[in-house]
Amino acid sequence: MTQSKPPCADPKLEELYLRSCILGAVAHSSHLYDDDKRLSPDDCYVDAHAEVLRVVWALVDAKQRPYPREVSARCARGAQEVLERVLQPASDTQPPGMIAGDLRDLAANRRLLRHVVLAQASLIDGNREAAFEHLVDVRAETSESRELEFMQAAQTIANSRVTARESRNERLRTGFPIIDRDIGPMREQTLTVIGGTTSSGKSSLMLAMAMQQAQRGVRVGIVSVEDAANVWGPRVLSHVSDVNPTNWDRSRDEWFAKQSDSGITIVRDYPLHFAFELGRPLNDVLRATRHLARRYACQVIYVDYLQAIRDPQTTERRHFVSNAAARIKSQCQELGVACVLGSQLSRPGKGKQFDEVFTSDLKESGDIENMAEVIMLLWKTGDEGDAKTLGKIAKVKWSAGRARFEVERNPQTGAICGLAAESGGSAQTGWR
């Protein structure tokens, strides 16, 4: 067969090809194209493929079944050769079929067109959320070629060693030695889940970790799905000043103004960025995550918190939460960043509200326990103001360490300032 012109040079051929892929000529032609024998851009050039499709559609439109021999008999000689090569089992001695390099881009375009068409149909139906999901798929289709997905064992080990050397950034540690000893620096493309009971301080711990990383020059992003800027602002200020967020109503005091101005000066150059998607659906959270990673080159992204993400489709909650966690992790893997996800724990039974918690208590967890590389859990020992908050590392895929600790707060500001060994040993402050 001779090589044809590039597909886009002939709009009619391109239209035929797209029509076959979008409308499902293959589905209509199950007798001709089995799953392991259907024509693909690697089987033939566009002219031969178009010839086959013309015959198939002519038979389908005439309400006839497109049996292989019937199609072959109606095709020109070049297309017959293609059919014989595709339908006959290949042997080791047979030369490989001709590769249609011109059709590779067209195959990618047809996938993009399908997602765009589905997004358009969703918008016509008034379903904006579904449209956004299809547009996210468009972004996935435009990713770089994934050459490194296919490696032999030796290549896998070598690639892991190179990645470890490049990504082992000591600045990515949380800053709390008692947990850094087990976890080490945060690893890109991994998911860390911080689960906590109500008011146990999971958001405060996430902020403390983010502040210390930002202080060391790590570019950090926080996507808040529950609390607004006027909640996070005092929390940040409490880490760099003597302001307690509970005294935020003193904002007109001269002392408060000085503390606030001083705090703003300190954090002005911190590479810490916020995105506020309060009660927004998953697609908005994903969009904010992408923006933080691309616009500000964030290396670690915190999402607070999972259960606050709105589900516009009213799916079964457990499935939605599990899917949301998987989507967030998948996107962070694509972006090459470490992800820390806050998650609520199920409410304990009566008389057990201050007992130790376990990974099985992750609220509506679904598969979160399995998909997370690191899990940390927090719980309070009582509802008194001075009740202790305890925590533990419940899972680390690359370490056997399971540290247990007590959360320590600055007595003046209430900000988390360190983690101490639960046994009552000396505090191991995170601030260096």
The mean pLDDT of 382-392, rounded to a whole number, is 87
CA–CA distance, 389 with 382 (Å, rounded to integer): 8
| Res. 85 pLDDT band, cuts 50 70 90 | low
| Res. 63 pLDDT band, cuts 50 70 90 | low
| Res. 101 pLDDT band, cuts 50 70 90 | very low
pLDDT score of 48: 65
Lowest mean pLDDT among 50-59, 62-71, 199-208, 238-247: 62-71
Q: What secondary structure does DSSP assign to 218-287, as a single string?
A: --EEEEESS--HHHHHHHHHHHHSS--GGGGGGTTSHHHHHHHHHHHHHHTT--EEEEE-TT-BHHHHHH
Higher-scoring residue by pLDDT: 70, 217: 217
Query: DSSP 3-state helix, strand, coil percentages of the chain (rounded to 5)?
Result: 50, 15, 40
Per DSSP, what are the bridge partners of residue 193? Answer: 341, 375
pLDDT score of 254: 84
pLDDT score of 100: 39
Reported as a single tens digit per residue, the pLDDT across 343-362 is 988 776 666 778 898 888 88
**Residue from 93, 13, 81, 24 nearest 50 by CA:** 13
- Tell me how many degrees the CA angle 150-154-159 measures, rounded to the nearest 5: 65
Mean predicted lDDT score pLDDT of the chain: 76
Torsion angles phi and psi, residue 10, rounded to 5: -125, 95
Percent of the chain scoring above 70 in pLDDT: 66
CB atoms near residue 198 (< 10 Å): 11
Q: What token pair was written down for 7?
A: 């597909």
CA–CA distance, 155 with 153 (Å, rounded to integer): 5
Per-residue CA distances from 2 to 9, 45, 46, 184 (Å): 16, 8, 10, 58
Interacting residues of 269 by C-beta distance below 8 A, sequence separation 6+ = none
- Give the three-class secondary structure for 302: strand
94 Ramachandran zone, left/alpha/beta (phi>0; psi -120 to 50): beta
Percent of the chain scoring above 90 in pLDDT: 30
CA–CA distance, 378 with 303 (Å, rounded to integer): 17
pLDDT of 112 over the 80 cut: no
Q: What token pair was written down for 406?
A: 């007590």
Q: What residue ranges define each of the domains in the chain, with the CATH number in brackets?
A: 7-107 (no CATH), 166-429 (3.40.50.300)
The mean pLDDT of 403-423, rounded to a whole number, is 90
Reported as a single tens digit per residue, the pLDDT across 249-294 is 765 778 888 888 898 899 988 999 999 999 898 988 998 998 899 8
